[in-house]
Structure 1
């Protein structure tokens, strides 16, 4: 029997929960539910996902004990605001991780390290969470149009709770590897709780400036060397900030500024090794 529970405040705000012992993809199922008429505000969770995927269709492994969770939304806001919910999800996950982890500091890692405020977890643009400079979690947003011309959104969160993939081109870690005593069920409970406040702060896009400010407080790599892969080429410079629309801002060596809406970001030693 599943031990997953949704937080009382989430339940009071109309959110629902379905938990599975195993599933192909929580995001895929969420979008199927939306096309079948589900009204949204539904969490789908599992500790074993067999065909999950990350950004750009990459495989995302969820071995038994890790967390795969998707929030299905059928919103009233405009589609142009949808992408910024990734930053809401990042803050939510960061808040949840802080809630379930003992307070301590990590050293700066090879792909971004921790933010200057000494927080344990760092947010890597656009939709990753790092611990000690290694990838701990990823977020994937997907949308589908509905027959009534509205759209549905699947906001997927994958966290390495007990294990992380081997042979990746970047460092990765898990909560177990970091000696954080927390299982997938406890982490999801904290996520479902933290989402409520961050969604309220976002306020259908009207509060994006507040989300941006909070995100930058926990951002990885601000002020450090960065390499961004954009459509087959590599742009190098210093990660300066994210702009008012949460796009990535790079200061080039010649002083020019490049604003990036989508791309693969690498910091530090990984940035130095990145090639076109």
Structure 2
């Protein structure tokens, strides 16, 4: 079957543009915005040839994986938009639960805390884990438009049929986990789950709710962690995320460190992280 929006998303004015192949769904979305597109459009493909992740890292999407970007040209403040990565992570987690309702995953060395029954977990700031390995990455990019407006591209890449091999972290795919799900089915669920979480976010006014939901899925909560920040490594216990969704570490000396951006490693990976 082809890609389609959920009835709820379509009823709320969201649109869909599907591509057989694309360079980057994020780049294409931002170009549409610069050409005058009003936003609320999902761009999707099962083959992305020039995708990128955080810090400019390449994100390859071989045939059958999901590359999806939601373009928004919003009226809310640009500062508020940064927390939409947490909304996207929650939406994807909910979508995965919907299409793979009985998933049972172990917890790998960079995965977090074992819980009975297994689940998809969210790794701060914008990754989704399964079996302790990276299943999905989320990347937010923006561009300024005329009249002090801006466009926001919320990119979501999911390893459906294959995962990258030459990466510095564990990675997996739905196929490797034995899940029977294709990109089209997952996107349909994602476009639906986005609606609930976006409404809860409420242009930033509902960030408290989003934070609470995110913490119920948080990978590594209460475990040893190492975060690389500007060439330095901060070690301690992952205590929480604060009211602005910043990462909070409690160091061995009792000091709380609030981190805005950085690379997070748990468990054995945290212990081996270079100083």
CA distance in 2, matches of 1:139, 1:189: 17
Residue aligning to 1:204: 203
User: What is the aligned partner in structure 2 of residue 232 from structure 1?
Assistant: 231
Task: Quote the offset at 1:116 in angstroms.
Answer: 4.3
Give the Cα separation in 2 of the matches to 1:265 and 1:41.
Answer: 31
C-alpha RMSD of the superposition = 1.2
Distance 2:200 2:50 in 1: 33
Q: What is the match of residue 163 of structure 1?
A: 162
**TM-aligned CA deviation for residue 120 of structure 1:** 1.3
- Within-5 A mapping of 1:141-220: 141-220=140-219
Deviation at 1:103, TM superposition (A): 1.1
Q: Which runs of 4+ in 1 moved over 6 A?
A: none
> Within 5 Å, which residues of 2 pair with 1:1-276?
3-113=2-112, 116=115, 118-276=117-275
- Asked whether the equivalents of residues 106 and 118 of structure 2 are also in contact (C-alpha less than 8 Å), the reply is no
Residue 102 of structure 1 deviates from its aligned partner by 3.5
Q: Compute the displacement of 1:117 (Å).
A: 7.1
Deviates more, 1:66-75 or 1:266-275: 266-275
* Structure 1 portions without partners, runs of 5+: none
Change (3 A) 1:199 1:262: same
Deviation sequence 1:154-197 (CA, Å, 0-9, x none): 00000000000002211110000001100000000000000001
Please, which moves more after superposition, 235-244 or 105-114? Answer: 105-114
TM-score by length of 2: 0.98
How many Å apart are 1:91 and its aligned residue? 0.2
Say whether the 8 Å CA contact 2:222–2:239 is kept in structure 1: yes
Change in Cα spacing, 1:72 to 1:115, as seen in structure 2 (3 Å) is farther
Q: Is the 8 A contact 1:112 1:133 kept in 2?
A: yes
What is the CA–CA distance in structure 2 between the aligned matches of 1:68 and 1:138, rounded to whole Å? 10
Q: Give the distance between the partners of 1:29 and 1:228, measured in 2 at CA.
A: 32
Deviations 1:231-264 (A, max 9, x none): 1111111000000000000000111010000000
2-structure distance, mates of 1:142, 1:204: 17
Deviation string, structure 1 residues 205-233 (Cα, Å, up to 9, x no partner): 00000000000001000000101000111
Distance of 1:263 and 1:239 partners within structure 2: 13
* Mapped partners of 2:249, 2:112: distance in 1: 18
